[in-house]
Structure 1
Amino acid sequence: MTEEIKITDRRVDHGKEGAEQGASAVEQAQADHSAGAGAFQGCVMPQVCFPTFVLSLSSSALVHLGEVPDPETGKTSENIEIAKHTIDILAMLEEKTKGNLDAEESKLLKDMLFELRMHYVRKSS
C-alpha cells in the first residue's frame, strides 16, 4: 500500500488555489492525527513564519531564565548559559536579517531581544 504525501509551500501567496491546497493539507494532517499519530494527536501546530520562530526562541529563553515554567514539567528552573546562547541566536538572526524584514518583524525581534537581555542582566548580576 502506497501512502500519498502532499507538500504545500505556505511561504508565498498562491491565491485561492494555494489556500484550498493548504486547507486540504491541514485536513489531512488532522485526519492522520485522529488515526492515532501519537503524542501530538489532535494538536494543530502553528504556521511556520518568522514571528512564530522568534517567539518560540524567546519563550525558550524565558524558560531557561526561570521567568516562566517549563511547559513539559510545569516547574521553573534556571540555566543562564543556555538562555544566553538562545539570546545570542536571536541577536545573530537580527544581524543576518538586517534589511530583509518588514517593519513589524524587525520591531518584534528588536523588542524581544531588549526584553530578554534585561531579564538576563537581572539574573546574571
Structure 2
Amino acid sequence: MPNDDQEPKIIIDEDWKSQVERERSELAAKDQESETSSDDQVKTNDDDATSTGGSTEQLPPASLPLLITTLVTQSMAAMGQIPGDDGNPMPVNLNYAKHFIDLLAVLEEKTKGNLSEDEKGYIDEALHQMRLLYVSATQASSSQE
C-alpha cells in the first residue's frame, strides 16, 4: 500500500515539472514578443542599464506633462513636502524650490503659443500651486526664525 501512495506523488511531481516548463516557455515567448515591440521605440545608451546593476526597468515616455511633474516634484521636495527614504521630511531648501518654480515659469514662457489647451492648463495650474506653496513655506520658515 505505501507504494500506491508514492505513485501519485511522483505523477503530481512530474505534472508540476511539466507545468513549470510550459509556463517558462510561455513567459519566454512573451518576453521575446515584448522585446521585439520595444525595438520600435527609441533606445538610449545600453551601457546605462548595465552600469546601474543591469536594471532594465521600463521608463515612461518623455512628455511635457512628465517634465512638469518632475519639476513640481523637485520643488515640493525642496520645500519639505515629500518624505525622504527614512520617512522623515526632507530638509527645506527654499532656494532650490524657487529655482524649480522659476524653471517651470521659463518652460511656460518658452512654450507659449505651442501648447494644447490641456497642456497650457496643466502648466498654469502647476505653476500656480507651486507659487502658493512657496509663499506658505516662506512664511512658515520666517515664523520659525
TM-score, scaled relative to structure 2: 0.59
* Paired residues of 1:69 and 1:77 also in contact (CA < 8 A): no
The residue number in structure 2 matching 1:38 is 52
Unaligned 5+ segments in structure 1 are 1-20
Structure of greater Rg? 2
The residue number in structure 1 matching 2:124 is 110
1:80 lines up with 2:94 in the alignment: yes
The alpha-carbon deviation at position 77 of structure 1 amounts to: 1.6
Task: Show structure 1 runs of 4+ deviating over 3 A.
Answer: 72-75
The number of aligned residues is 101
TM-score, scaled relative to structure 1: 0.68
1:24 lines up with 2:31 in the alignment: no
- What is the distance in 1 between the residues matched to 2:113 and 2:54? 37
Unaligned 5+ segments in structure 2 are 1-35, 140-145
Question: What letter is aligned with 1:23?
Answer: S
Alignment equivalent of 2:103, drawn from 80, 89, 93 = 89
The residue number in structure 2 matching 1:7 is none
The alpha-carbon deviation at position 107 of structure 1 amounts to: 0.7
Change (3 A) 1:22 1:109: farther
- What is the distance in 2 between the residues matched to 1:99 and 1:74? 41
The alpha-carbon deviation at position 36 of structure 1 amounts to: 4.7
Question: Whose helix fraction is larger, Structure 1's or Structure 2's?
Answer: 2
| RMSD after superposition | 2.8
